[in-house]
A and B are shown apart, each in its own frame.
Chain A
Amino acid sequence: MDYVLRTDALNKHYKHFKALNGLCMNVPKGAIYGFVGENGAGKTTLIRLICGLQEPTSGEYTLYGRKNADGDIAKSRRRMGAVVENPAIYLSMTAEDNLRQQCRILGLPSYDGLHDTLKLVGLDRTGKKKAKNFSLGMRQRLGIAIALVGDPDFLVLDEPANGLDPQGIIEIRELILKLNRERQITVLISSHILDELSKLATHYGFIGNGRMIKEISAGQLEAACRKCVRIEVSHMGMLSRVLDEMGIEYEIISDREADLFAKIHVTQLALALAEHGCEVISMREHDESLESYYINLVGGEGNE
């Protein structure tokens, strides 16, 4: 698999505070990578590091195959656009002037396509209105439009839905999906609005206390959150034999627990297991949302 971004034991310390503590993450090419974590978990710190705004205390990251210590890391950065925390826009300029300014910064020879970019983010009719008079949602979209100038392959968005109204959140979501599908832009989104992320992410990275707790694809997460029956038995070998004989789909969780993905006849299963000398200790319905999955992960991490 091709990766746009990989980090290896990345650390960032502010005096005695460890904002990142050996973080390892992998963002596959073409993915919408949802970077999930509570406030202060280290999401924005990681984004600042990969954008070159800050230097890691130790560890390294690779952006488009170039390590952060390489002299030509700037070449990789030219392929990315980012909105870090608040959108970085000139408040005294119009939306179009902001994009023109970004064109000059990038050294683009012409301003062709700027109107299309403004149209893409829904700011093509703002005319001479200055950015300081924009709503928060408009500023957020202008920030994304600036990040899109120069046709980046990798878009980094830090809490893009922050402060937006429901309509604004939907618009941003649709924009991100459009960029990913139509322009094949890899997107890294940090957020703690899990419900919103679940509507667009293809991969997830769960971060807590500056460490990666779990990286998982949307498919794997969906399977993990599937409605199932969690059974605890005395002998896992016997359980799997019986389940195979009965043709029930299952996943072994531990040496005593398994998730069964079918509507099961409890008495029939219990009798079959008893015949093989396997005792059923407990059985319960298990239905996990992304939210509870995350809480379990973070809670588990916190309890370690």
Chain B
Amino acid sequence: MNKLVVSEFMRLMKSNVFKICLLISAGLGIGIVMMRWSDMKMNADIYAELSQEYRNADGLLFVGSLYMIFVIAVLVSIFVGTEYSNGTIRNKIIVGHTRWNIYFSKLIVCAVADVIIHLLCVVAVLIFGSIFIGGITLPPAKIFLMMLVSASSILALTACLLLLSMSIQSRAYGGVVCLLATLIMMFASMSIYQRLSAPEYYDGYAYTDENTGELIEVEREKNPRYLTGRKRELYEFLNDFLPVSQLYQITMQNTDHGKWIAVYDVILIIATTGAGIVIFQRKNLR
């Protein structure tokens, strides 16, 4: 399998798509910082009143992660789809490489490429945030932990996207399916996060009726959409289980469930890779 991994890495290095993805990643990181910097310049008085966390790059560190998932989806689908569309995947089978090895080599190379792309965005925010907007005040250990957890989520997402890409022999169709799947995962994750962060009660408040001058008091009211019991447990599980939801948590700098996220990612990688290998083994290649 080493031969395949080496050959795939060499192909990755020569790939224009990978180079473009790196540029987008770095550009996105820089862009996020520059937008905040520009906003701080234009609204200096407002920012002066805000707390410290808004006047440094802490909150921006992993914002790019949620956008990078689309870049990753494009890279995986094109990197794998090209092998199908050019027919070069046949060259590997014809000379005796097993399908298991071919699948696994792609997983390794795509995973490394995706983690590099993702971390490049984070590093760009770190560097440019330090130069332009007051640097990072988070402890290095926390940053390192968030990088580890986000890398774990990226690996799981890569495994899911690889399963889709390797199951579809058309590059165009594979690309569309990967992007759609990523989009669906993103909306699902946002929805889950919003449902979980909804308050249990709406706060009570009081106001004076302008016509009658009467003081009206509205009591604290229970939120009917607040999740409870089994349903809440399920949403909490999905929030920790789905890779995009995991990244959403990292964006919010929440690493409370870091250990569980890592465990779920391992399960997800094993399950999707197992399923992918079974599908690829049975596939009639053209």
Residues of A within 8 A of B (CB): 14, 48, 51-55, 73-78, 80-82, 84-93, 97, 100-102, 104-107, 146-147, 150
| B10 within 8 A of partner (CB) | yes
In chain B, what residue has the closest Cβ to A87? B87
Per the bound structure, the CA–CA distance linking A204 and B286 in Å amounts to 25
Is there an interface contact between A51 and B94, defined as CB atoms closer than 8 Å? yes
Is there an interface contact between A104 and B91, defined as CB atoms closer than 8 Å? no
Per the bound structure, the CA–CA distance linking A111 and B97 in Å amounts to 20
Q: How far is the CB of B20 from chain A (nearest CB, A)?
A: 13
In chain A, what residue has the closest Cβ to B89? A88
Total interface residues in chain B, CB < 8 Å: 27
Q: How far is the CB of B112 from chain A (nearest CB, A)?
A: 17
Is there an interface contact between B95 and A150, defined as CB atoms closer than 8 Å? yes
Is there an interface contact between B86 and A91, defined as CB atoms closer than 8 Å? yes
Query: Which 3 pairs between the two chains have the least Cβ-Cβ distance?
Result: A74-B96, A104-B7, A88-B87
Q: State which residues 1-56 of B face A: CB under 8 Å.
A: 2-4, 6-7, 10-11, 14-16
Inter-chain CB contacts under 8 Å: number:
87
Per the bound structure, the CA–CA distance linking A76 and B286 in Å amounts to 21
Per the bound structure, the CA–CA distance linking A87 and B91 in Å amounts to 10
**Which single member of B10, B88, B94, B286 contacts A104 (CB below 8 Å)?**
B10
Q: How far is the CB of B202 from chain A (nearest CB, A)?
A: 58
Q: Mark B119-156, 1 if CB is under 8 A from A, else 0.
A: 00000000000000000000000000000000000000
| B92 within 8 A of partner (CB) | yes
In the complex, chain B residues whose CB is within 8 Å of the CB of A78: 95-96
Q: How far is the CB of A220 from chain B (nearest CB, A)?
A: 31
Q: How far is the CB of A83 from chain B (nearest CB, A)?
A: 9
| B259 within 8 A of partner (CB) | no
Per the bound structure, the CA–CA distance linking A82 and B90 in Å amounts to 9
| B284 within 8 A of partner (CB) | yes
Per the bound structure, the CA–CA distance linking A81 and B94 in Å amounts to 7
In the complex, chain B residues whose CB is within 8 Å of the CB of A75: 96
Q: How far is the CB of A61 from chain B (nearest CB, A)?
A: 14
**Which single member of A54, A82, A87, A147 contacts B285 (CB below 8 Å)?**
A54
Per the bound structure, the CA–CA distance linking A90 and B86 in Å amounts to 6
Per the bound structure, the CA–CA distance linking A87 and B86 in Å amounts to 8
Q: Mark B248-286, 1 if CB is under 8 A from A, else 0.
A: 000000000000000000000000000000000000111
